[in-house]
Chains A and B, each alone.
Chain A
């Protein structure tokens, strides 16, 4: 399957150009969904893309309910932003606890092929390398110079990339992306805004988002030009006390509707623009389950993470291969009657160095001696005592041959 190459400095292998239909906007890093034709972007985690039906539809919100120590939800947010950098989308990051610049510094490094897009210094290295690497492979030496990853396409043509968590993204790649930020302590609020329905931080964030969308031309109402791009919005830990919201602090919050109003406004903004948002909420602190339910309904996609760290499940041998459980709370049905939910409900995730895998959790077969079977052994044991000719000992109760 040939595809157009857009790598810089790479000789084009084929002159075949895919004939794009004029109706679909072709933006780098997106593809139309096979189910309902929506434009999809990758979340950065390929297994999560598969669960959400191929990817995240442009104009929707993904809600991630954080795990207890906010390690894995933060990781998924970083994957999402890193995917945006690799696909040359624009980024908007809002956070209350950490500076958005710090979040950007921690993005994982993409596993790119050995194509010298950003590092021209790599090419002279290739010629000197064969001298020492010829001894490296004794039998399979023909494969030495081939890149380790099978695909030889330039990375921005692919949908969904892999990242190496142990390394951070190089500054050159990171700075190539356009980045907007919103850091709550930089927007001081006036004291005692008790009369408003939303804490000032939420309304300031909405205003900032609207302004960025309008200024940078992500509005769908703006005239269609050839070069459209997607805005990726990452909102970290919305609803926590640092946003000025008492949703997590009180059992009956005073402004319980502030976050829901904000999400309503956010979704309206997204539906009319070429953007996609990932919101993380510390749901383990929210005591009101009904409120959590309405927050879930207001977002399109919703998943919840539960990490095993610190809970009694950590030592459970069933869960030893995984880092936590993942629950898919909601999948949207956009322009269709019903959506395709994942077949299996028991999903577990594991953060490996080069991949965040989400797998189906299955119980191993129970081979222990105490497995409950029809206790014929007890009956025969009682009979054996009476007849005194059986060799039934107390340990072999369950084995009857």
Chain B
């Protein structure tokens, strides 16, 4: 599922990468950026935690000019006179303006590094509202955010993840360079899919999925047992026997005309009016359904 997410978030998607101090999610974030650049999209990065060079390190050649880095690293709270991007500018109007002025006709992906930083300086309700409006607004096609799970109260983290369409939780893996990703994806129809994968990130930020650990509910396959086998008597029908069975004239089988005459009975025949009450919570799964009579 990780590769699907990387290859194309559907429009209006909101992906949250949850990491912790044990395992950083920034490499996976850079993989997402690279994948978006591959798709010829414009990427807008709100960088609060690392500076421009470090984030752009690893992005190849010509794609660099499609990455618009909004520098919130040098002066995020606006202490100097001319801040590049402050945390107070994280609201719908400013962000839409920012995105529209730099990416002309391409679909834009907004990458937030990191959402934890914004949550520490703005109220969670305002942040949630802005994210929700951004998703519905249409100025950006997809939003990818990094969230440090150990920095927030459970309620805050839960509220923000509740808004997301996919949440990827990263934990350290067995080997040094491997990590385990637990992915929860909510589709538009309300279905929830979960997966757990071990992955590796290369030098050029492509992700290799090593193996899938989940999904946890692997259905156990049961072989269909043929009940007519291994019996001392014969329960099967040969072809001639089956044809004879079908040819058999059943009692009370009438000709077509008589059937239609009987079916379209005239008015005045008795009708049964029945109102099912609470005891008749009827069940469609009739156990006698499979009787092939």
Chain A residues proximal to chain B, CB less than 8 Å = 1-3, 11, 13-14, 46-47, 49-50, 54, 69-71, 74-75, 97, 130, 134, 138-139, 141-142, 144-145, 150-153, 157-158, 160, 185, 240-242, 244-246, 248-251, 282, 284-287, 309-310, 314-315, 352-355, 357
Cβ contact within 8 Å between A245 and B125: yes
B 247-278 binary contact with A (CB < 8 Å = 1; else 0): 00010010010011011100100011111101
With a cutoff of 8 Å between Cβ atoms, the chain A residues found around residue B191 in the complex are 71
List 9 A-B pairs, minimum CB-CB distance, nearest first. A241-B128, A249-B124, A285-B158, A241-B159, A249-B156, A69-B192, A241-B125, A248-B159, A71-B190
Bound Cα distance from A314 to B218, whole angstroms? 11
Cβ contact within 8 Å between B250 and A142: no
Cβ contact within 8 Å between A315 and B159: no
Bound Cα distance from A153 to B160, whole angstroms? 48
Q: A13-B273, A150-B276, A242-B132 are in contact. Are A251 and B159 (CB under 8 A)?
A: no
Which one of B159, B217, B263, B281 contacts A249 once the chains associate, using CB atoms below 8 Å? Answer: B159
Classify chain B: how many residues form its interface, as a range.
35 or more
The A interface is mostly helix, strand or loop, or mixed, namely loop
Chain B residue at smallest Cβ distance from A160: B278
Give me 19 A-to-B residue pairs in the complex whose CB atoms sit less than 8 angstroms apart, sorted by A's number.
A13-B271, A74-B190, A75-B190, A130-B263, A134-B259, A145-B263, A240-B159, A240-B162, A242-B128, A242-B163, A245-B125, A249-B125, A251-B154, A251-B155, A285-B158, A285-B159, A287-B155, A310-B194, A353-B284
Cβ contact within 8 Å between B124 and A142: no
With a cutoff of 8 Å between Cβ atoms, the chain B residues found around residue A157 in the complex are 275
Cβ contact within 8 Å between A138 and B184: no
Cβ contact within 8 Å between B273 and A134: no
B:205-264 near A, CB below 8 Å: 216-217, 250, 253, 256, 259-260, 262-264
Q: A47-B281, A240-B162, A355-B283 are in contact. Are A250 and B153 (CB under 8 A)?
A: yes
Chain B residues proximal to chain A, CB less than 8 Å = 123-125, 128-129, 132-133, 136, 153-156, 158-160, 162-163, 184, 186, 190-192, 194, 216-217, 250, 253, 256, 259-260, 262-264, 267, 271-276, 278, 281-285, 293
Cβ contact within 8 Å between A251 and B250: no
Cβ contact within 8 Å between B263 and A144: yes
Chain B residue at smallest Cβ distance from A14: B273
Cβ contact within 8 Å between B278 and A246: no
Bound Cα distance from A153 to B129, whole angstroms? 48
Bound Cα distance from A1 to B194, whole angstroms? 51
